Structure 1
Amino acid sequence: MTAPLTHLGTMPVTEFLRDYWQQKPLLIRNAFPDFESPISGEELAGMALEEAVESRLVLENGDEGPWQLRNGPFTEEDFLSLPRSHWTLLVQAVDQWLSEVADLKRYFRFIPDWRLDDVMISYAADKGSVGPHFDHYDVFLLQAEGKRRWLQGPRVDETAPRVEGTPLGILKDFEEENRWLLEPGDMLYLPPQYSHWGIAEGACTTISIGFRAPSARTVLEDLAAELAMGLPEKSRYTDPGLRPAASPAEIDPGSVERLRTQLSHWLDQPRGIARWFGAVMTETKYPDTVAMDADTAGDWRQQLPQGARLLLNPASRCAFCRQPETLFADGEAFPAPLPLAEKFCDTHAIIQSDVEDFPEAAATDGLIDQLVAQGTLIYPPEDF
């Protein structure tokens, strides 16, 4: 099994997390010595022909104007009609389809698994790019094939002017602060909101390891709904010790402060928050892909004793919580023995010894049956 990185180049991971993570960019020369790309540009284009794969084409000078975006799936004719330069193909979640790409995520387990999003891979023709922009998440940009020049600008936000006529969020005014040429094995880390612009020098392939973080809007909307379900109807706004109103129509500061205090009390549900957080951070990006595999391991009780393994679906996500003992998988929470939940989240596999050690999980309609039924547990795909 691939081990997590202990150093980024010559820098200890502890130093990186202390001084750079979510703070400032870092160029890591030769982060992966003698790196060989797990996929070629031609293979990536082949994936973009498939209906189940999310893919995009960005043309700097498209027929419909500058920075044209086209969404897949594509046809071979689409690729044959492309210009010789200034275009980029992007394919999302390649880790769900190729084990060699999925293995790359294990190097980054110094960050919690539930923070990892997916591995996007782009192939760019000469001078191809997706324009100057910024993201709301952390990303490691690993150069896989060829060379790409990265321009890094300042931290910006939603108020920055954008180029009109394109949905890509291209920054209208880009101020270059740093410039680097990356070759295979080099890697650039960018925190959220740092503007950047990658331009291919000749054809190149770049691997993007992105991280997920729920927005404040998502947290407030979803968490409030989740916690509200656990509150009894009798929990209401109260105002004991009320004094005579000086102005009956006024919502006075004291009332607002009283409500704020009561809100804090209603939100003080550590187990409810943990349950919500585990569920939302393990929601799969492509639930239809998981659902397609539901019940495909229906005869697992006969297969495991023969040495077979049930594996976490490549499209699935999992995490665990100690208090209460819970396994989270694909947005669902399951009561589970802590040793089993912890082992499964580490190995992403269920084997015969797990059945023997945790018979309650292997019982009819138990934990394993539930994970199989929703497509979280499957037999290893051919490429995995």
Structure 2
Amino acid sequence: MDVHLSTPLLGSLSPRQFMKRHWQRKPLLVRGAVPDFRPLLARNELFALAAREDVESRVVEQRGGGGWSLRRGPFTRRALPPLSRPGWTLLVQGVDLHLDAAHELLQRFRFVPQARLDDLMISYASDGGGVGPHFDSYDVFLLQAQGRRRWRIGRQKDFSLQPGVPLKILAAFEPEEEYLLEPGDMLYLPPRYAHDGIAEGECQTYSIGFRSPQRAELARELLLRLADEEAGRTGETVYRDPGQSAVRAAGEVPAELQRFAQEALRAALKDPQALPRALGEYLSEPKPDVWFDAGAAPRAWRSLRLDRRTRMLYDGRHLFINGESWHASGPDARLMRRLADERQLGPAELARASDEALQLLAAWCEAGWAHEGVA
């Protein structure tokens, strides 16, 4: 992707201009971001997806008197409200994991690092449907696919939530701007920018969301991975204190035990590549409900593409794919980085791969992480 070229997707801005002017700074409304856009799934196809056990789905309804209800799927068709009932919304998460067309749509946003790109959610709503005024902790692009949705947005000073509601709905929403989006229109919102979208008639909106791990969550995950790696390398070292003397102050933590704890942390971080490796493995880990079907290695290397569910990243020393890591250097590293960037390799590129690289690609094909042929 040439980040210097303007694109209708970003209102004639280039990706470079958009990231500099709007990303995590201010909203952007784009009329005709995807010209002649049509829903990727018909209503009944979306309902069928929401009925699957491996798909995350929710139904939100606004009841009389301002009350709200939230139910989690899977949903049979009978479990969904009637189409004629106003004020309900079906949210289907991770559609890009199950539909090639949704995965391809998500690739238009690869001017943002893949490590940040999360998923595509489809919101189907009957007339008047919505999820209430709220804010997200992450960036989001809201692409209108069917019908019309009226958005009210605003910078929010008071982030207190309505009590006793199963959704995170703002108690004192103060909109500053209002837009009516039609198919192909798109609205970008930075984190914590309050918004409320109401369907005008039957409506589908596609949300392209981004990962924003919390610092504490990230630290906890990385420390667990570092601890597991250290235990695998050196085995479980048990604290021993044969020189411990009898104590009068039994409640005091022994100094030797404190030093043992400090040494345990130093040992886990002794390898300077341990932390980058743990981070890459964490960021490339598929979601818990993602499973791969076993495949077969190609008989002839003509072309290769990553499975739509595969997450592949890299840093200066490693390749990361679906939670695993490999050390990478030289021409093969450049080839694999191109695969991570473009998600496919052609015959000329594969012809330059070493036998070791082809063996690794074959193993990925057998695991179902990649497939022969360019989509």
Same fold judged by TM-score > 0.5? yes
Question: Residue 271 of structure 1: which of 251, 270, 273 is its match?
Answer: 273
Partner of 1:108: 109
Aligned partner of residue 68 in structure 2, secondary structure: strand
Partner of 1:218: 217
Matched to 2:353, the amino acid is D
Q: Could you say if the C-alpha distance between residues 136 and 378 of structure 1 is closer, same or farther in structure 2, counting changes exceeding 3 Å? A: same
Matched to 2:322, the amino acid is D
CA distance in 2, matches of 1:164, 1:380: 52
- Measure how far apart 1:34 and its partner are: 2.2
CA distance in 1, matches of 2:267, 2:178: 50
2:182 is aligned with 1:179: no
- Measure how far apart 1:201 and its partner are: 0.6
Q: Gaps spanning 5+ residues in structure 1: where? A: 234-259
- Measure how far apart 1:194 and its partner are: 1.2
Is contact 1:156–1:195 with CA below 8 Å preserved after alignment?
Answer: no
> 1:1-384 maps to which residues of 2 (within 5 A)?
6-7=6-7, 8-61=10-63, 66-79=67-80, 81=82, 84-155=85-156, 160-166=160-166, 168-227=167-226, 271-290=273-292, 293=293, 295-297=294-296, 300-302=297-299, 304-305=300-301, 307=302, 309-322=303-316, 324=317, 326-336=318-328, 337-349=332-344, 354=350, 357-363=353-359, 367-372=360-365, 374-378=367-371
Matched to 1:376, the amino acid is W
Q: Could you say if the C-alpha distance between residues 320 and 296 of structure 1 is closer, same or farther in structure 2, counting changes exceeding 3 Å? A: same
- Of 326-335 and 71-80, deviating more is 71-80
Partner of 2:250: none
Aligned partner of residue 344 in structure 1, secondary structure: helix
Q: TM-score, normalised by structure 1?
A: 0.78
CA distance in 2, matches of 1:92, 1:85: 22
Q: Could you say if the C-alpha distance between residues 355 and 368 of structure 1 is closer, same or farther in structure 2, counting changes exceeding 3 Å? A: farther
Q: Gaps spanning 5+ residues in structure 2: where? A: 235-261
Is contact 2:153–2:194 with CA below 8 Å preserved after alignment?
Answer: yes
Matched to 1:328, the amino acid is F
CA distance in 2, matches of 1:284, 1:207: 21
Q: How many residues align?
A: 342
CA distance in 2, matches of 1:189, 1:208: 10
CA distance in 1, matches of 2:270, 2:26: 34
CA distance in 1, matches of 2:230, 2:64: 52
Aligned partner of residue 122 in structure 1, secondary structure: strand
Q: TM-score, normalised by structure 2?
A: 0.80
State percent identity of aligned pairs: 41
Matched to 1:153, the amino acid is G
Deviations 1:47-80 (A, max 9, x none): 11222221111111189x9221111111121236
CA distance in 1, matches of 2:108, 2:6: 9
- Measure how far apart 1:162 and its partner are: 2.6
CA distance in 1, matches of 2:71, 2:82: 13
